[in-house]
Structure 1
Amino acid sequence: MAEAKRDTEANIMTPDDLLSGSSLTTKELQQNWREVKRNDRPVRLLFEIPSSRIVEQALSKYVVYQVVVMRSGSFDSRRVSVERRYSDFSRFHHQLLQEFGEELEEVLLPRKLLTGNFNPDNIQERRLALQDYLAKLYSTRCVRHSHHFPAFFTEPEQRRGHSLIRAGQFRAAVEQLQTVLEIQEKLLPWQKPTLVVPTLAALAVGHRDLDDPEQAFGCAHKALPPVRRYGLKQYRAALLELLVDLGYQLGRPVAQMQEELTALRDAERGEACCRSLKELVIQEFL
């Protein structure tokens, strides 16, 4: 199998190879060029709304739609999903219209139904229409680069995760925040790397309180580069402090991080945020 794969890869030619490959037939040139193009496809976001369900509560009844987010390409087989109501889509659309107005003239939210909201045929029609709506939004550059875009897919779950941390329910919080992180990572090509910082910080706190220092160290260490690059001072000091503490516990080299933390404290002369990472996480999304 490995040898066959190497043989296949060896037969795929670059554009430069194709230009110099005059000995190849037209059919062979076309086949190789298709392979080059297939392997050089840009990464895109894909949205699917495969199902819905009716929720009945004491004073209300509504439909929620399962929204699956994935990135094109075989390298991303993980399908992550959240649930949203039509009212969530409506609120999202209103926010976008307020900011972008004319740029969304051709992107229409499926109309609100006055009757028949729970009719199976109407639910099916709306499910497909909302799926198409998300695809059109993504194709609009200003939308996919806006802060509203990731917020629609993650903010409710992120708020819930932080609330669970404040309540001391760390295992449930970690499960919730892991879903948030996976969606945010799919969105990163169109968002600043700082998007994942609050989530990684919260996961680091959750894992630490679950007595899982290895995972906590990994999350904090992953958050540090974008924090350094974009100058998030309060996170930088708090992350370094946590990493030094966990590093000693895990037997990792921490001298460089300790020097960085000391230099940061000295340079700021008390202006840097002295709150712990847990304090920052608890106060996030209040």
Structure 2
Amino acid sequence: MAPQRAVPERGNATQSSSIEDLRTRLEQLVEKFAKERDDFDTSPVNGRIYPADSIDYRNDSGLVQGGSSPSYWGGLWSLACCKHKMRQEHFFDYFEEVEPGVLRPTQPFFLFTCAGKMNSDTPDWAADRRRWVTSVALVTHAFRGMDDYGRFLLEQDEAAWKDRVATQESSEDTAWARKKGDCHAVINDGEVVGVDSPYPEHDHVSSSGTSSCGCSTTVNPEYDHVYHEDNDRSILKFASTSDYWMSWSEPQFYWTVGNGPDAWGGGQRKRSYRDSGESQDGTILSELRSVL
């Protein structure tokens, strides 16, 4: 069985499990971020849904993750692997480049992640609901390249990057990063010196010798090749610093309304989630747009 980790509980200790409280909390995050950046408008509120097939609910252990993205470790939220089409640059014209390769949002951009559907257990009280919301992040940074992202990680605490850098030498401390890390920067003596493929055991490497992403270009002939989309500079890598994201270890909210192909990420201007305890018409993103 692939290694799994419990999704951490973060940023919602004082909240009840109601949409109203969640909406208030997200509004507070937007207002707080606006105080930190001059070139930031509090509206419109933009959102995307990320159904993460690698996150499931287990009756005996709560929400668990067995994939690369999002990454929740060391107090940092990041999405730098997976959902490549959703993260293509032309979708996000509400970012500005503040230095080469580093972008900051000019409008609120929330990324709602929900659990997988097929392999999740179902709590007794939850009928047949399975698409549990696992985290909500207000994106605070975006990066063009894995090298840009790697430099940002090195500015954080070690706990933030040690489980993310997939190109590290093998040790017990780096086992998760080599398999599930979302940063493919090469680091030498504490500095980013380039970008490469992760090791063959990584989720985004095909050992078949074929091009998994459908591209005919061989980036590294030794092992090929989903990671090459991860390294594409036209696909933004997202991060949210410690004060701007929330996550749940147990189900609280669930996704109910379909809104487009998962590959593109849904949710902007669309109904997305309902309170887990009630069947009601109001949904998080639609209500957010009317409030903020």
Output the TM-score relative to the length of structure 1: 0.27
Higher strand fraction (1 or 2): 2
Structure with bigger helix share is: 1
Q: Which has the higher relative contact order, 1 or 2, with Cα contacts under 8 A spaced 6 or more apart?
A: 2
TM-score of the aligned structures, taking structure 2 as reference length: 0.27
